[in-house]
Each structure stands twice: as structure tokens, then as C-alpha cells.
Amino acid sequence: MGSNNPAQNDRPDEQTSVTLTVKSGRGDDPQEFTFPQETTVGDAAQEAADDFGLTGNNPTFVHDGTPLDQQRPLVSYDLDGATVILSTNDGGV
């Protein structure tokens, strides 16, 4: 059983990551982030908040005016290539 195992390659184009453009909401240049697709919104938002130097509790992303559930995986929102706004619960949008 080598690398040609059809069970391992039946979806060779399956996406394994989600790439987002993240805006901090405070005038910083947007940054692009790529996360494994199973990363939760909360974990991804925390990483982005750290990179932007934002403090605050429970960061999340806002997409099309709607805050995303921090417990859901990014892939569940079908956001690959989207632009989101980073938000913290203390108003650090």
C-alpha cells in the first residue's frame, strides 16, 4: 500500500485550510491569515488579536455584520477568501 491508495486520494483537491483577510477595525492594515480548517473561530480570532496587538476577552470575527460563534470551526462558515473584522468583547473592534 503506497501513496497510490485510492482511499487516501479520493478527494485530492479537498481543502485543508481557510484563508481570511482580517481587519482590526482600528485602522491597521488588513492582514491575511491561513488556518487549518478545523480551527475554531475563537482560536483563530485570538491568534489574529495577538498579531494585531489587541487586548480584550473572547475575540471573535464579524462577517457581514454578524459576530461568528467562537466555538464553531472556521470551515463551517465557508469563509475561505473572505474579509472579516476582528472584535473583542470590550469594544476593541
Q: 0.85 exceeded by the pTM? A: no
pLDDT at residue 27 in the model: 79
pLDDT at 90: 55
> In this predicted structure, what is the pLDDT of residue 61?
96
Closest to 47 in 3D by CA, of 29, 64, 33: 33
pLDDT at 45: 97
Tell me the three state secondary structure of residue 41. Answer: helix
Among 34, 31, 26, residue whose Cα is nearest residue 90: 26
Report helix, strand and coil shares of the chain as percent, to nearest 5. 15, 30, 55
| Domains defined for the chain, CATH in brackets | 17-87 (3.10.20.90)
Q: Kindly give the parts of the chain with pLDDT less than 50.
A: 1-12, 91-93
